Structure formats: structure tokens, C-alpha cells
Amino acid sequence: MIRRILPAVAGLLYAGAGFAADVSLLNVSYDPTRELYAEFNKAFAGAYQKESGKRIEIKQSHGGSGSQARSVIDGLQADVVTLALAYDIDAIAARGLLATDWQKRLSENASPYTSTIVFLVRKGNPKTIKDWDDLIKPGVAVITPNPKTSGGARWNYLAAWGFAQKKFGSADKAKQFVSDLYQHVPVLDTGARGATVTFVERGVGDVLLAWENEAFLAQREFGKDKFEIVAPPQSILAEPPLAVVDKVVDKKGTRAVAEAYLKYWYTKEGQEIAARNSYRPRDPEIAKKHENSFAKVELFTIDDAFGGWSKAQREHFSDGGVFDQIYKN
Amino acid sequence: MGLTLTWLSVIVLIPLAGLFLRTLELSPEQFWSILSSRRTLNALRISFGLAFAAACVNLVMGTIIVWALVRYRFPGRRLFDAIVDVPFALPTAVAGVALTALFAEKGWLGAPLAELGVKVAFTPIGIFVAMVFIGIPFVVRTVQPVLLDLDPEIEEAAACLGANRWHTIVRVILPSLTPALLTGLALAFARAVGEYGSVIFIAGNLPNVSEIAPLLIVIRLSEFRYADATAIAVVMLVVSFVIIFAVNRLQRWARSRIPAD
Amino acid sequence: MTMQLTHSVSLTPPADKARARASAAAAGIRTEPKLVRIAVITLAVLFLTVFVVLPLVVVFAQAFSKGIAAYLAALSEPEAQSAIRLTLLVAAISVGLNLLFGVIAAWAIAKFEFNGKTFLISLIDLPFSVSPVISGLVFVLLFGAQGYWGAWLREHDIQILFAVPGIVLATTFVTFPFVARALIPLMQEQGTQEEEAAISLGASGLQTFFRVTLPNIKWGVLYGVLLCNARAMGEFGAVSVVSGHIRGETNTMPLFVEILYNEYQFVAAFGIASLLAMLALVTLVIKAILERHLDEGQP
């Protein structure tokens, strides 16, 4: 045993010495950005090395946005957080890990790419799902993750609520609609990727409420002959924000590079990478170039429809909030 | 001795004490309301119910396997004897993805089963299959040495006294195997109740239908509902300890029943 | 020999097989009609094939489904390499710790009589039957920033959770019983006469341990280490709770299998899985060899 382990450990130390980068960052992100950051990190590392001559290694951790935020609060040493929604970063800020005005430190609400919520249905759209109110038709099973842990799930919920509020004109009716909707949800996965796996692989449900980029990815991976994307006439403008975690970067001395990393999103290259991975770019020029890749959806913002994240979070997702009232278990 | 206790405390006792302390922060009403919520009850029912069913299957099939391995000669016997331990040595995550691939609708076994209208993967049957898989070695490995050591003279005596073969097995052999069978059953059950890795891949993870208790703990933890997570964990922990303690008592009982030679 | 019921599976090697062969070949009185024999064998073989052989085969079939080049490419990814390195490191540390403790604990339990022995043994066994998820949870409760010692650890800048120490702790917890459990019955059986003789001849305690006790139990030690190692490398649930899932840093091989699986990279997922499956098979081969030695060593 010892003879078996010793070379392994020696090899480990040796290899560790060989691969060491000059700088290393940990990016704690949400679920569907795996492919996005794989490409972005490679591009940034190249650009950074060209400019500074230093080798950088960016480590990723992915999971449901809420649970990732909690891991950071619990002590996961993230240099940057790139989560699904502003509230999750607010929650980290509330524990004193970064400045509370973090969202003003970068332009565009600190969200260099945006997305929206669309429907992924099975081939031929057998349940003819076209708009939000089709989701509560009898016999339709809807897959969406758990709003307590997943950021995408909260966007899904708020998109449905926003639709109902506009269509039926009152908060009570919106609550009724969303409550009906969750009666059609057989499973709440903890993250958006888990929900996608449930829908595409486990074959559960008729429609997946998904990030636009996640829907495109599932279609790419499993083929257009199996799934169709349905864009509802209106949906929510999802703004996944980024921030540097002050406490961590100051301790590790990585502030400059962490800031450069996030700013890289605002370059043409960064915006191109976002568009290529089916995230909507902010840069008008790049957006124009890719406009045919994205469906025309009337988008409302969280500020317009809900008065901002902290209000929405408090009303809907806190303990005993609206979601707890309608989804009792 | 002191060292043993110290090390035991550091690695096992203190962490477990932390779990109980956390639970003590809850009022009895809170504790009860967590445990009696529909989702928790269902998760516990699914974990315990399916684990017991799987352990029973393992009891029957394990006995048959032991009998074949110990009493009969057939080609590949030694190979099959060795692979009984595979579920024990194979990492649970690997077992999970393998069983899922095997029993998914397009899998080697899933496809023919789907033709018969049986869906295994992502249903409670899938959980059951995974639990049967991980429980296989337990009954076999606890019963095997006892059957090997069984004194041949007892059987011969029974036969000479005119008992037919069936009677000999039921009245003479099975009773001597009982402590080992019970131990195997308890161990297989304990393992299946707590199993996580191999189950989550193949289970549908639908709340109230195919969500096991350990998964619910993980979900509550990521929802930051530590109280819920610890309450469920404490219940499972107590059950585990009771089982293990019972097994150890069972062994003493078995040892005292069979005189040393 | 006293009936030695193995407590936990495979933690104690099966009894002498040679004797079994003799007894099985005994008189025809002790067997069943041919039809029954064939039925029992068929059932046993069928069950093991469906539940054990096929899942193993599936792992390798999936791993090589896109050819050997794709398989090797998947394994040479830096993140895969780092998962392999981490798994080896964690296993080495926790096996080492449990080896040390296991020998001492088995010594204390086997050679001395005291009250509450069953209780103590049950405590040692506990990690064996506790859900792996709970094994991870207890460390989050202790070391998480919200946990009992979280604030103190943060003040002193010590990272346990979401880092290698946390993974090692969880793994050590889960593999806690293996070495001790393999040794207790062995040492109980050997009794204390040889040690007493050595001491009466003037040997010191340590000398006695290294010259007398250790040689007697060396195959049992290896046996426990082997099983401990297999479980340490394969642990999923407990590690999953404490890992933080940082790619290239805190992902062990089993965790990496799950991540790849969720990224639809099935060849890579089953590629890593096939390495772990091979580890399991190698473990079983070595186990068979050790059992032969253990059998020979028995009186």
C-alpha cells in the first residue's frame, strides 16, 4: 500500500509544481453558465497573458444560484461571483463580504449579458404550448427548479407572475395564476441544470421553463428533432450580475486581476462570446449582428414589474413569503 | 485506550454531537412539525419502505446465492463468488450512472422492460433496483462463513433420523443460519436507507414520489433550512445506531448459542 | 474455533475454504435433486449477472462508445487529471490516519476487557451505516461560517470546508471502521499469550508490538487498508456536501463523474467511472490474494 501510494503522492507534488499558474481566481457561478465560462475563461487567460505576461488559472464552481451564494456565505473563497440574479449577491453583501453598492461598480447594472425565460417543449409541441396561460391547461406538467435554491427558477416564477399581473390586472389574480402553475410542477430540482436533465433525460414533464441559453444548449446537445423552443410573446428581462468579492480579493491580493476579469465582459470579444453561447449581448453592435439568433420577445424588467429585487425577494421568496404560501410541503 | 477514545471523539463523536446540539436548538413543536410535514414523511417512508423491500429481496436472493456458491460446483463459481463484492467496492456514483444507463428507456435492460410497459429508471422502481444492487454483498458475506462452518454431522443425523431433505433444510439448517440472515438483512437495510450516490442518478427525485430522505437533507441544506436538514438527519442517525447496536447484540447472541469447539 | 460472525460485510475474511470444500463434497445425503440444483444455480447466476455484471459492462461500453481516442482525450483533460490527483491525495491521508487509529483501537478492544465494549464497537461501526449525506452534514454544522467553529476559523484564516481538509475529514469519517473492524476479530482470536511471553522474556511494549503483534496481523492490516482505500477513493455523498465543487481543485473523481454527466459529456463521465470501476476490480483481486494469506495464517 505504502509502496503504491508514495509514488502517487510524489507525482502529485511534482505535477502541482509543474502546472502552477502565476495567478489564480475562483469564479463561483450559477448552473447553466458552464459552457459560457469555459469559453470566456480561455479567452480572458489568453488576453491577460498577452498583456501582462502572467499565466492565470480560473477555477469554476457551478450550482443553483441561491445555494452557491450560501456556499460563499458559508466560507467558499470566491474571488468573483457571477450569479443568476442580484439578490443572491445582495445576500452575500449583507454578510459584509462585499460593498452593498456593488451593482453600481460596473455599467449595465453589472450585467454585461442578459437572457430571458422561454419554453422548451417536446418535438411537435404535442400540448400546443404557446403562451404562459397554456401552462395551466389540464394535463400539462411543467418543469422548473426550486426558487429557494435556483436563480433561474426565481426568474421563471417572476416572469409568470409578471405575465399574469399584466393580463389579469391584479396581484390576487397573479397569485392565483402562479399558484395554479405550481400545481402543475411535479418536481423542483435545486438548479436549472438539474431541471434540464430531468426534462430531457428523465423524460419528465411537457414543458421546461428555461433560460433561453439553456434551452438552446439542450437543443444543440440533444438535437432539434427532439425538442422545440417556444418563445412566449412576453417574458422577463433576466439580468445575471457579476461582482468582485471584496473580502476575498483583498485577502488574496487578487483585486486587480479580478476586476480586469469582469471588465473583459464589456469588450467586443467578451460580448461575442456571450452571443455565441446564446446570451443576449448588451453591446448594440454585437446585438445587431446576432439579432436573428434570438426570438423577438417583449421584455419587462424586474424594476418595472416588481420594484426591484429586494422587494421581490422579500415578498415572494423569503420564509413565509408568497411562494411558501402557494407551495406547501 | 485513551488514544482510541480521543480519536473516536475527534472524528466521530464531536461531529455527531454537533448534529444533536443543533437539533436541541429546535423546540419540540418545531421538530415535530418538520418531521410530520408531508414531504418529510413521504421521503422517510420511501427511504425506509424501499430499503426494507430491497433488503428482503437481498435476503432471499442472497441465501440462494450463498447456497449455490457453497454447496454446488458449477463453471465460473469462483468468479461469481468474487463479483459478489463488486457493489461494495464500486463507488456509488459509478453504480448510479451505470444502473441509470442500463435501465433508462434506451438502455440494454430498460428497452425490453419498456416494451413490457415497465419503467424502471426515474421511478420508485429505480430506487429499489439501486438499493438491491448495493445490498447484495451483505447477506451473502454474512451467511457464507456460517454455512461453510456448519457441521455436516447435523444434517447427516437429521437424514438418518428419517427427515427428508426439505425438512432438514427448513428445520435444521435455516435455524442455524438465522442470526447470520438477520444480521445480513439488518446491514443491507441500514446501507440502503442511507444510500445516496447510486440512488440519486436513477431516482426521479420527485417530491413525495421518488425523493429519498438523504436527498431531502441535501435539498434542505442548500435551501439554508439547516433545522430541517438536521431534524431529518437525527432521525436517520438514531435508526442507524439502533440497527448497528442490534446487530452487535445479535452477534453476541449467536456466539452464545453456538458453543465454542 | 468460535463462530466468528462477520459483522460488516467483508470486514472479516471468510473462514477457511479448504474445509468447506471437503464438507461440500460430503455424502450425497447432503444435497438436493438435480432439478433443484440447476434451478438454484441458474437463479443465482442470473441475478448476479443482471445486477452486477451488466452494470460493470455498461460502464466500459459507454466509456469506449466513441473509440479509444475519445476515451484517452477525456482522461487527459486537466480537470480530470486534477480530480485523479485529489482523489489519490485524499485517500492516502485518510487511509493513513485510519490505519494508525485502526491498529490502536483494535489492540485496545481485542486485548483488554472492559464494560461497554459492544457500545464502543457500535460507535466505531456507526459511520458504516450512517447515510453519507449526514456524514458530510455534520462537518458543515461544525466548520461552516454559520457553524459552531465557523467564526473562529474565519478569524484565524483557516479554510476547512470547501477545501482539501474538509474532504479529508469527511472521507476519514466515512472510512473510519474499516481497518479496526478487520483487525478486531483477528486479534481477539490470537489472544495475548504470545505478547505475554515476549514481555516475560524482557521485551519492551513497543518491541513486542513490532516484533510479535504486527507480524501476526500484517495480512489483516493490509486487508483493512485495501477496503478502506476502495471506499475512500469512491466516496460520493459525504464529499459532495463539503466539497464546494471547485473544478480542478475540490472535485474528486466521483464528483467529477456527476458533473460530466450533468454536462451531457457521457463518454468522459463513463471514462472516469471506468477508472473507478477498474480500481474496484483491482481491489477485489488483491482482496482474493490477501484472503488466501489470511486463510493460511489461521490455525
Chain A residue numbers with beta carbons less than 8 Å from the beta carbon of C244 are 61, 71, 76
Chain B residue numbers with beta carbons less than 8 Å from the beta carbon of A187 are 204-207
How far apart are the CA of C67 and the nearest CA of chain B, in angstroms? 18
Farthest-apart Cα atoms in chain A, separation: 73
Contact B97, C270 (CB under 8 A): yes
Contact B47, B211 (CB under 8 A): no
Does domain B45-212+238-256 fall under CATH 1.10.3720.10? My reply is: yes
pLDDT value, residue A215: 94
Task: Say how many Å lie between the first and final Cα of chain B, rounded.
Answer: 31
Q: Of the spans A261-265, B122-126, B237-241, C34-38, which averages the highest pLDDT? A: A261-265
Contact A112, A106 (CB under 8 A): yes
Q: Does B102 touch chain C (CB under 8 A)?
A: yes
Residue A190 is classified by DSSP as S
Q: Where are the domains of chain B?
A: 45-212+238-256
| Percentage of the residues of chain C whose pLDDT score is greater than 70 | 89
User: Nearest residue on chain A to C148, judged by CA atoms?
Assistant: A74
Say how many residues make up chain B: 261
Task: Say how many Å lie between the first and final Cα of chain A, rounded.
Answer: 49
Q: Label residues B67-89 b or e (16+ Cβ within 10 Å = b).
A: bbbbbbeeeebeebbebbbbbbb
CB atoms within 10 A of CB A287: 17
| Confidence check: pLDDT of C225 > 50 | yes
User: Nearest CB to C133: which of B13, B214, B226?
Assistant: B214
How far apart are the CA of C3 and the nearest CA of chain A, in angstroms? 30
Interface of A with B (CB under 8 A): 63-64, 66-67, 70, 146, 148-149, 186-190, 198, 201-204, 329
Chain C residue numbers with beta carbons less than 8 Å from the beta carbon of B12 are 123-124, 126-127, 173, 176
C-alpha cell at B51: 430499503
Q: What is the pLDDT of residues B4-29, one digit of tens each?
A: 788 888 888 888 898 998 888 889 99
Q: Label residues A23-43 b or e (16+ Cβ within 10 Å = b).
A: bbbbbbbbbbbbbbbeebbee
Contact C29, B155 (CB under 8 A): yes
Chain A residue numbers with beta carbons less than 8 Å from the beta carbon of C161 are 74-76
Q: What is the pLDDT of residues C1-36, one digit of tens each?
A: 223 333 434 444 444 444 444 444 444 556 788 899
Strand partners, A143: A208
Strand partners, A211: A117
Chain C residue numbers with beta carbons less than 8 Å from the beta carbon of B180 are 5
Q: What is the pLDDT of residues A229-240, one digit of tens each?
A: 999 999 999 999
Tell me the pLDDT band of A16, cut-offs 50, 70 and 90.
very low
| Percentage of the residues of chain A whose pLDDT score is greater than 90 | 74
Task: Say how many Å lie between the first and final Cα of chain C, rounded.
Answer: 9
User: Nearest CB to C245: which of A62, A74, A251?
Assistant: A62
Q: Does C245 touch chain A (CB under 8 A)?
A: yes
Interfacial C residues in 107-136 facing B (CB < 8 Å): 108-109, 112, 114, 118-134
| Chain mean pLDDT for chain B | 89
C-alpha cell at C265: 459529456
Chain A residue numbers with beta carbons less than 8 Å from the beta carbon of C286 are none
Q: Does B241 touch chain C (CB under 8 A)?
A: yes
Q: CA B192, CA A24: separation in Å to the nearest integer?
A: 41
Q: What is the pLDDT of residues A132-178, one digit of tens each?
A: 999 999 999 999 998 888 899 999 999 999 999 999 999 999 999 99
pLDDT value, residue B241: 87
Contact A150, A62 (CB under 8 A): no
What domains lie within chain C, and their CATH numbers?
Answer: 2-60 (no CATH), 67-297 (1.10.3720.10)
CB atoms within 10 A of CB A2: 10
pLDDT value, residue C15: 46
Which DSSP string do the residues of A221-241 spell out, in sequence order? HH-TTTEEEE--SEEEEE---
Chain B residue numbers with beta carbons less than 8 Å from the beta carbon of A198 are 204-205
User: Nearest CB to C254: which of B1, B93, B258?
Assistant: B93
SS3 letters for chain B? CHHHHHHHHHHHHHHHHHHHHHHHCCCHHHHHHHHCCHHHHHHHHHHHHHHHHHHHHHHHHHHHHHHHHHHCCCCCHHHHHHHCCHHHHCCHHHHHHHHHHHHCCCCCCHHHHHHCCCCCCCCHHHHHHHHHHHHHHHHHHHHHHHHHHCCHHHHHHHHHCCCCHHHHHHHHHHHHHHHHHHHHHHHHHHHHHHCCHHHHHHCCCCCCCCCCHHHHHHHHHHCCCHHHHHHHHHHHHHHHHHHHHHHHHHHHHHHHHCCCC
Q: Does B41 touch chain C (CB under 8 A)?
A: no
pTM of the model: 0.86
User: Nearest CB to C7: which of B98, B237, B247?
Assistant: B247
| Test the B interface: residue of C2, C11, C12, C30 with most B CBs within 10 Å | C30
Contacts of A41 (CB under 8 A, 6+ apart): A27, A58, A60
- How large is the average pLDDT for residues B90-112? 92
pLDDT value, residue A194: 86
Q: What are phi and psi of C147, to 5 degrees?
A: -80, 180
Closest CA to C83 of C260, C277, C266, C263: C260
Chain B residue numbers with beta carbons less than 8 Å from the beta carbon of C276 are 90-91, 93-94
User: Nearest residue on chain B to A319, judged by CA atoms?
Assistant: B225
| Test the B interface: residue of A202, A317, A319, A323 with most B CBs within 10 Å | A202
How far apart are the CA of A298 and the nearest CA of chain C, in angstroms? 31
C-alpha cell at A204: 419528465
Residue A319 is classified by DSSP as T
| Confidence check: pLDDT of B224 > 80 | no
